[in-house]
Amino acid sequence: MSELLMASLLATATATAAPTLTLDEAVERAMSTSPAAKGAQALHARADLAELRSQLDRFSFRVDAQLQEVWAKTGIGSDRDGNFQGWLGLSNLSARLDVPIFSGFRVESNVARAQHLVVAAEEDLAAERRAAAVAAARAYWGVRKLSFLHDLQAQALERLTGAERIARARVSAGLAPPLDENRAEARRRLQAVTLEDLEGQRAEAEARLAVLLGLGAPARLVEAAPEAPSAVPDVQDLLQTARARRPELKAARARLAAQEEVVQMAISEYYPQLGAYALFQYGNNPALAGAGSRAVYISANPFAQMAGDMQVGLTLAVNLFDTLNTHTKVKDARLEASRLAAAMERADRGVEEEVRAARARVTRFARLLETLGEAEALARDNLKISLERYEDGSALLLELLDAELELLDVERRRADTRSELALAAFELEAATGGKL
């Protein structure tokens, strides 16, 4: 057995001691550690806070306290009576409740808009987790495919080593020309170079996967490549499922619904605004609600002449003309709704393209796998026959070496196809919004 093959087996034995990692574990880890998903989670939390603030628009209750010491001089340059010079101590404690009785449905629309944006943020989080899952699956099967190819290459190298021993024995016995030994050795060395290259590619892919999953060191992947599926669902059924479950489409629909509420909020400025308020104050500097003026008691002590004050009232505001600001605001909101509707249509087309392409890949690889299975059986039979014929001297070494390469080529294509089929099946499940 060659030194390179021994090194390969030693590396495999070392990898066995590493922690194992299934595809489900890799996907779950990717979704939980993705920076993009963490950012989307923060945006979802902010959307929840925005919804809470919109609910608080249904009423407003505020308590304020104020204490001032002011030096004032009045009537400068005037000889009228009642001028004042000195310190004023002012204090006021107020509690005010405002309730919008009718706001043109602005408050209700604002709450509905915030709720739609919460749904959109939640679906954005699901979309980011889905993207992280697909990226992890692609990296996982990239490593797994290289592992399959590496193992097949090691097996082929072992077979070529055996063929080289047979050729050497036949050359020593004078049954074959010396060129056979050189050809067998040259073919083995060439396959040893390929094995080393696959080892390097696998190490690079494992490093990338470890960074993607936030692992300290590469793990041992144990997911087996599946066989061809018995049947692929109809494309219309897949599209119907995808349109009902894909988070990108749900988020687009929620944003369009939120923008329609923004349109209603802009229209609300055409309606009269009726509100009620109640104000209680205690101090020596009370304010008159609606007027903004305050009473002042002449005293340097802010706690002198303190008294309570209670005011209750209604406010009616009517927008008679605002230089077309409301008109342009409504028009702008409707244009934004049209843009979001077009964005939703674009997202729908993207989902349809993704589903159709994923289904086509699954179908293609499934058919290839079935054909390659038959080809592999024939290639193994050809290799067996070529080996027997070379051993008894009825075939040339080139026939045996060609049979070895033919089997290796079919094995590699079959391993590649099985890995691609597994990834395509995962991507089809993700494209339809299935559970990852």
279 in helix, strand or coil?
A: strand
The pair of structure tokens assigned to 374 is 């038959």
β strands within 290-374, DSSP E: 307-317
Answer yes or no: are the C-beta atoms of 362 and 421 closer than 8 Å: yes
The pair of structure tokens assigned to 376 is 């592999």
Separation of alpha carbons 170 and 401, rounded Å: 15
Answer yes or no: are the C-beta atoms of 117 and 309 closer than 8 Å: no
The pair of structure tokens assigned to 173 is 């016995």
The pair of structure tokens assigned to 139 is 């990296």
Encode the chain (436 residues) as per-residue pLDDT tens digits.
455 445 554 455 444 457 899 999 999 999 999 999 999 999 999 999 999 999 999 999 999 999 999 888 877 777 676 677 788 888 999 999 999 999 989 999 999 999 999 999 999 999 999 999 999 999 999 999 999 999 999 999 999 898 888 888 888 888 888 888 888 889 889 999 999 999 999 999 999 999 999 888 888 999 887 777 778 889 999 999 999 999 999 999 999 999 999 999 999 999 999 999 999 999 888 887 766 667 777 778 888 888 888 999 999 999 999 999 999 999 999 999 999 999 999 999 999 999 999 999 999 999 999 899 899 999 999 999 998 888 888 888 888 889 999 999 999 999 999 999 999 999 999 999 986 5
119 in helix, strand or coil?
A: helix
Domain boundaries, the chain: 18-68+86-289+313-431
78 in helix, strand or coil?
A: coil
pTM of the model: 0.82
Separation of alpha carbons 436 and 419, rounded Å: 18
Separation of alpha carbons 22 and 33, rounded Å: 16
Which fold would CATH assign to domain 18-68+86-289+313-431?
Outer membrane efflux proteins (OEP) (1.20.1600)
User: What sign for the dihedral angle of Cα 3, 4, 5, 9?
Assistant: positive
